[in-house]
Chains A and B, each alone.
Chain A
Amino acid sequence: MIDAFTGALHDGFGYVAISYCLAAIGLNIQFGYSGLLNFGQAAFLAIGGYIMGAAIATSGIPTIPAMLIAILFAVALALILGVPTLRLRADYLAIVTIAAAEILRLVFGTSFREYFRGKDGVTGFADGFRGLNPLPEYDGFFLTYSRNELWTIIVGWIVVILICVLVWALMRSPWGRVLRGIREDEDAVRSLGKNVYGYKMQALVLGGVIGCIGGFIGAFGAASVQADTFNLDFTFIALTMLILGGAARVLGPVVGAILFWAVLSFLGSILSDLSANPTVAQFMNADQASNVRLMLVGLVLMLLMIYRPQGIFGDRKEIALDAR
């Protein structure tokens, strides 16, 4: 039981949770506040990990410039996705982003092997980041984090807090007001002289860049980048976290990401303990336990959508997922 709790906290606040959390914050700007359906958020994290990783490991570029290059790539991807679709109906963006994410995943996994290393993925880029680690050489930190994990997590949560402050400031500004207006009725906003297309583009770019930063954290935490991490499930799980926590709320995606990983880990521990019991094992072996875990999470999400469709933090009056 204690182990299950420790494990839940470990995963809930771990670097994977942070990376999903940033993905969900980006989606919150796009979907939660502006109504844009980006189903390819994984591509922005993939760019963060792969472009930065390859720039450091293959081209010997220092860490910070490598990050800036990756961010430029993320901006470029957002523009490429947005230019043809943002004047059209919302579903076009959804389709194009799904396709782009899959294409990029395949490119990273199979092409430009001298940079992206095919199946092995990119490694050997985290030394610069880890070299800045001021923590003492000691591996018994709380929640069983290793020294490098803890360093990544500290930096990661500071980044999350800074980005949340930025989102909070932006969303209470006239800029955020225009986005919320667009989410509801873009023609009304257009009739008041606002360049709706430009605002949507800004939301897409900002959300994508935040996702890209999530890619950095994930890459530093694992010290490697694998293309398969960034499959379609990735984006849908991040969206799930957003809806769980509450869309169009600054802390919605943060709470959603922590809870999602904590609950998943907790259920995992409990169920795998149970499956060790010979009686239970007749119905559910260890492999099945991890699937049952996902089924239970799905069940919880269904109940949540029925009884609290606005998510944990959401304000039903402001945003109900009534899809108009």
Chain B
Amino acid sequence: MPADTSPTPATGATSMSASTPSSPATGSTGTTRSVADQGRADLQGLATEPGVKKKDPIVVATDVRRTFGGLTAVDVEHVEIQRGVITALIGPNGAGKTTFFNLLTGFDQPDSGSWTFNGTSLKGKSAYKVARLGMVRTFQLTKVLSKLTVLENMRMGATGQRGERFWAGALPFLWKSQEQEITARARELLGRFKLDAKESDFAGSLSGGQRKLLEMARALMVGPELVMLDEPMAGVNPALKQSLLGHVKSLREEGMSVLFVEHDMDMVRDISDWVIVMAQGKVIAEGPPRSIMTDQRVIDAYLGAHHDTDISELEHVVTAEHQQPKEETA
């Protein structure tokens, strides 16, 4: 039978156990530094122009174009995502952020262009292969499997499961012990995400915010090197938001790279190390969060016209956009 369920190539410097929060990498000075510190150091002093080269990029995309009929949804000339840091992807609604996510992760095919992950070209790779390589995404409209339990959702995330092969599936002794390891790992993550009390509930019974949490926790089960979160905060209540923020930061401390789409500028400023701004399919600006918010191009993109405006006004606009009712609030 043809299904390819070969185990994942060991991805990531990531150890999923919460007790070992950082994976060391050797810095140029010869001292041991965490991947996150190294990544942040790499970003220092970079030019703040669209398409700027990063010292240690995990993703490099060139000339990626996607049109829908006459509409050019994505037209990215060049963009690089730095390893080990949290990168925010912002831009007004319809800027092409989700489409760009879909293209990078193999859920959609571009008209043209090429992109690499860890130096491997991903062009034409199916979505499941991209995930196995260690580039795992979540969806703007959460995709929890609502008729499976929370714990089953989590177990599904683990790669290289022996019991997922057809012939082995019928023979429990081949996979029972691995299943126990997976379950232990799933429970540990559920605990961190405060979903442990819900483990035997159907995922469909969770609130919108809890679904976002579950989807993120489930993505971590894959063992990603790069986590791509599409509007992780949409429809999440303020209390949960704080804990989600903490989770995203802890991914970075564990050595993962994060790329996330977000409208809430407070959150962007709070946790991101680098911001990429898209508008009308193009990357129009890049830079550290503080300087990007005063960037005239960014303000224009959000306001759609020239305006003498300062950051508080920008935040106002952006937050108002974010407040628009989302389908997620359940």
Contacts and interface: CB of A to CB of B under 8 A. Distances in A.
Given A184-B148, A185-B143, A202-B166, A173 B175 contact: yes
A169 B169 contact: yes
Contacts, number: 122
Interface residues of B, number: 47
A82 B152 CA distance: 27
B213 to A, nearest CB: 15
A65 B146 CA distance: 45
A196 interface: yes
A193 interface: yes
Interface string A8-32: 0000000000000000000000000
B166 A192 contact: no
B145 A174 contact: no
A288 interface: no
Contacts of B221: 192
Nearest to B5: A195
Interface residues of A, number: 33
Interface stretch (A175-183, A272-280, A292-300): A175-183
A190 interface: yes
Contacts of B146: 184
A317 B148 CA distance: 10
Contacts of A194: 5, 128, 156, 164
A308 B257 CA distance: 49
A199 B128 CA distance: 12
Nearest to B174: A173
A43 B126 CA distance: 32
Contacts of A192: 128, 131, 136, 156-157, 159, 218-219, 221-222
Given A188-B144, A319-B147, A198 B4 contact: yes
A205 interface: yes
18 contacts: A174-B164, A175-B164, A175-B168, A180-B148, A181-B156, A188-B139, A190-B128, A190-B131, A191-B107, A192-B156, A194-B5, A195-B126, A195-B128, A198-B3, A201-B1, A206-B166, A317-B147, A318-B147
Interface of B: 1-5, 8, 105, 107, 126-129, 131-132, 136-139, 143-148, 152, 155-157, 159, 161-166, 168-172, 175, 179, 202, 218-219, 221-222
